[in-house]
Chain A
Amino acid sequence: MSKLFMFEKPLGMRDALPGYFQTKRNVQRVINDEWESWGYLPVETPTLEYYDTVGSASAILDHQLFKLLDQQGRTLVLRPDMTAPIARVTASGLQNQHFPIRLAYHTNVFRAQQLEAGRPAEFEQLGVELIGDGTSSANGEVVSLMIEALRKTGLTTFQITVGHVGYVNALLEEVLGNDERADDLRRFLYEKNYVGYRQHVENLPLSSLDKKKLNSLLRLRGDWRTLDEAVNLVQTPAAREAVEELQEMKAVLEHYELSDYIKLDFNLFMHMSYYTGIVFESYGNNLGVPLGSGGRYDELLQQFNRPAQAVGFGLRLDLLVEALGLTGAVPSQTCILFSPERRPEAVDHARKLRETGKRVVLQDIRGVEDVDQLSDSYEDVISMIGKKKEGAAHE
């Protein structure tokens, strides 16, 4: 291994310099304000968790976990997402609080380092979890909140795509019966391999009608009218229930006047087993990866011994900033340039300006490398140099 250059950072780690930081913080504040105005309470959890608890309960695949050992030799993970830690908190620290519980977070999460660009090992995530409410109002609320948050950031074109894991499972089980055979097809959906899916269906010992049914799933997407096709395709109770849930959610979103942001896609299949009901992802123009995702996960909480239905989502702050572009110019600042004999006057003037809400830099002239360059980087420069004259001299 070659010697490190002093500027190098571990793979996948990034700095946030002032311009980037400002943009990021502006976006984050807007979103946090939105969550909080909907009554979601922010929480924080530790950076390190046990692999056997939060690590294994998390939706993030094992090989993407950032692992290390504690002094007792137990495996720890750098928190890969916030949903599992929040489930842990809900079942422990908040165990006496009645459902529903509304929590929000803004934190950095970690993924195992990967060589490829565009896959940071640490990034910030903002999200909400609505725990202990299984209603369609809850589904509609979190999806609406995602839309409102994205709108508030100033993102002009974006879309939310909604699917339903319950429907896919109902269809697969109706045609295939046992779960194992359904698992094969679920894997193809998860791997986004539709060619493989169709080839696999072709080789199954099924009637051509059933094969057609399975293949129809791949085309089950579009606007809300897709729901009618979905109803016609499968009529089992579980499938009906799933479609009804989506219909109810549509009504909720119409009440929020946000249903236009939604498209349906029954093939949205983000995880093999984690989600249990609706799932959704958000996409912004000019970015090849989803900005955020979420869904209903009614089986996670029971792993922490407090069974409850739950729905939530996370947005990736780094991707949002990329989609929005660097908009956060460092705010304008005033500089008071003083010579030592006039320091008291300069300090006093700075205090007064700061009280009016201005950002003021106090700079001793002897510490300046290049006065012209300094003048250029401030909106306003006030000179307090040399013998005191009547009144402060402006440059």
Chain B
Amino acid sequence: MNEWLTIAMPKGRIFEEAVQLLRKAEFPIPPEFEESRKLIVDAPEANMRFILAKPMDVPTYVEHGVADIGVAGKDTMIEEERDVYEVLDLHISACYLAVAGLPEYEKTDVNPKVASKYPNLATQYFKQQGEQVEIIKLNGSIELAPLVGLADRIVDIVSTGQTLKENGLIELETIVPITSRLIVNPVSYRLKDTVIDDLVERVAQVIGVEEQL
């Protein structure tokens, strides 16, 4: 098994956690490897190449096949709807998606506006709730929207709830729990099946979900 795997990862904390997982699964990844600032880093000992991308873009790299596998949050998977295999819940960077707003928020007859980084996901969610809303797409600091009156609610990731609290917002509804997922390109999944199955099994063992496989 000396086939190379190209792995797309979000920069920062998830990359570090994922590399830790791989080390625990006994893939020989050199120490201090994750401190590099390069966008492409190779681990020849493990036959792996890492592509470091924006979290939202990871499924894109994997779908187009320039990366064989990737680590992506469930939030981006729902938002992007890419044609990739979602093979393993890595149980890292756990958080959840929620609807939040000002404490005094009340439903009114005015066209409800919702600000989010996840326009598709938010639209889908409110549709399921039987509510038609207008979505305003923002790229960050979503909490601003209700504070300045851009929207009356937001849909965003919540991990500790600290950011909401500090900005005087409260959680109104929980949408879905989020964790990072191991995703695989459909062609790589078939052509590099042995290496990928081996990796999935070893990582699953580390996170203790192998009985589910």
Contact = CB atoms under 8 A, between A and B. Distances in A.
B134 interface: no
Given A218-B213, A290-B187, A192 B84 contact: yes
A14 to B, nearest CB: 17
B108 to A, nearest CB: 33
A263 interface: yes
A263 B187 contact: no
B92 to A, nearest CB: 13
Contacts of A93: none
A193 B86 contact: yes
B212 A192 contact: no
A90 interface: no
A283 B86 contact: no
A225 B92 CA distance: 35
B26 interface: no
Interface in A138-193: 159, 161, 192-193
Q: Interface on chain B toward A: helix, strand, loop, or mixed SS?
A: mixed
A287 B86 contact: no
A285 B186 contact: no
Contact of B186 (A194, A195, A290): A290
B107 interface: no
A165 B185 CA distance: 21
Given A195-B86, A215-B213, A287 B65 contact: yes
B25 to A, nearest CB: 18
Contacts of B190: 159, 161, 263, 265, 281, 283
Interface string B156-194: 000000000000000000000000010001111011010
B147 interface: no
Interface in B55-94: 63-66, 83-89
A192 B213 contact: no
Nearest to B185: A288
Interface string A105-131: 000000000000010000000000000
A7 B84 CA distance: 34
A219 B213 contact: yes
Nearest to B65: A288
Given A288-B66, A289-B186, A192 B193 contact: no
A192 to B, nearest CB: 4
A288 B187 contact: yes
Contact of B89 (A159, A195, A289): A195
Nearest to A222: B193
A36 interface: no
Contact of A192 (B64, B65, B85): B85
B74 to A, nearest CB: 8
Given A192-B186, A288-B185, A288-B187, A221 B63 contact: no
A19 B193 CA distance: 35
Contacts of B86: 192-196
A10 B83 CA distance: 24
A198 B212 contact: yes
A195 B187 contact: no
A215 B187 contact: no
Contacts of B89: 195, 199
A221 to B, nearest CB: 7
B51 to A, nearest CB: 14
Contacts of B185: 288
Given A192-B85, A265-B190, A202 B63 contact: no
- 9 A-B pairs with the lowest CB-CB distances in the bound complex, closest first: A288-B65, A192-B85, A283-B187, A195-B89, A193-B86, A161-B190, A195-B86, A194-B87, A288-B64
Given A198-B212, A288-B186, 11 more contacts: A194-B85, A194-B87, A194-B88, A195-B86, A219-B213, A263-B193, A283-B187, A283-B191, A285-B191, A288-B66, A288-B187
